[in-house]
Amino acid sequence: MTHRLAEIKAVSSPDDRSIFIQILESVYRFTLGSIAGAAGATAVYPIDLVKTRMQNQRSGSLVGEVAYRNSWDCFKKVIRHEGVLGLYRGLVPQLVGVAPEKAIKLTVNDFVRDKIGTNGVIPLYGEILAGACAGASQVIFTNPMEIVKIRLQVAGEIAGAAKVRAWSVVKELGLFGLYKGARACLLRDLPFSAIYFPVYAHTKQMFTDEDGYNSPISLLLSGAIAGVPAAALMTPADVIKTRLQVVARTGQTTYTGILDAARKIIQEEGHRALWKGTAARVCRSSPQFGVTLLTYELLQRLFFVDFGGSRPVGSEVKKVKTVEPTVFKQNADHIGGYQAAVPIVNGIETKFGLSLPRFASSIGTSASSAKT
């Protein structure tokens, strides 16, 4: 059971849903989505760093041997050469960007589902459309945040290099530079969300109990399971985006766009290069979205505000049936009751050879008085 910390009824009935109330609902969801997104990103950030470095590794270029044999080798080398904090390079700009990114994704997905659905029921095409709209809308926040994050993440690979700060990257790129690789980002995020949200909704529904309720564990599992196919299938787009956004070093291949990057990667490194970091990407995205959606739904339960709109299936606070306590009334005549013990207790001072002060029960006394 989830205990509500706050419960507010914004409207008395769905008919009272004005434009202002709908705006308030979007602000409410945006705020909770920001907190949920930050929680999810922080939980899996070290995996994200490993994924980025694996994807940026270019085995077919002229720079010599590869730095990392696999994701685990990358993880160990980061700790060895950069310390544990090296796993969190670029976390601050990630949190600054991920809050509005995840917030707008969750808000838009819920908003479109509300508009398409009827009484909480939405067709599959509507779920896919809502997810696609959510993925497309987030790019405005995602691209600037990710290009800064990626450049900070790969900066630690150069031994003795000067420390790179987020603000210096932003100044170097400028406004338009922050959207370098935006089309590749859109190519990745739009289908990702179109896959993720419908799978999450149906997986969550499968995990509901007999009362149609989702426990926190089922929410976490639903979010994690939905992230596996979405993250895995979009890996090639993520690899291309990473290559476009990272500054190529001396001897490394440069790319002019999505198609150019895809063609050169396949020519120089083979088709398998497009799937680099798939394991790390799945291991990052799956638990990240699990934690994000779990936090988002629990926050809606804890700080419940009824705006009169529809709510996701299984997201209500579990209703616990109130059982009236059984009141047991004393029956003085039942076997073992006090009334049956009176004849035994009365006169006990003269029984069994005992010599005690005279004892008389109140019930016995009352009965004698009544007879008198």
Domain chopping of the chain, boundaries: 6-306
Residues near 10 by beta carbon (within 8 Å), at least 6 away in sequence: 21, 24, 25, 305, 306, 307, 308
Residue 310: its pLDDT value, please? 62
Tell me the one-letter amino acid at 270.
G
| Domain 6-306, architecture per CATH | Alpha/alpha barrel (1.50)
pLDDT at 361: 46
Residue 332's pLDDT is what?
A: 45
Q: What is the pTM of this model?
A: 0.69
DSSP H helices in the chain: 19-56, 71-82, 91-116, 124-155, 166-177, 182-206, 216-233, 235-245, 258-269, 278-302, 338-345, 362-371
Chain length of the chain: 372
Per-residue pLDDT 10s for the chain (372 aa) are 557 777 888 777 767 778 888 888 889 999 999 999 999 988 888 888 887 788 777 655 444 556 788 888 888 888 988 888 888 887 887 787 778 888 899 999 988 998 888 776 889 999 999 999 999 998 888 888 888 888 887 776 555 556 677 788 888 888 888 898 889 889 999 999 999 999 999 999 999 988 888 999 999 999 999 999 999 999 999 999 888 888 777 778 888 889 999 999 999 999 999 998 888 889 888 999 999 999 999 999 898 888 876 665 445 555 444 444 544 444 444 444 444 445 554 555 555 455 555 544 444 444 444 454
Q: CA–CA separation, 42 vs 87, rounded Å?
A: 11
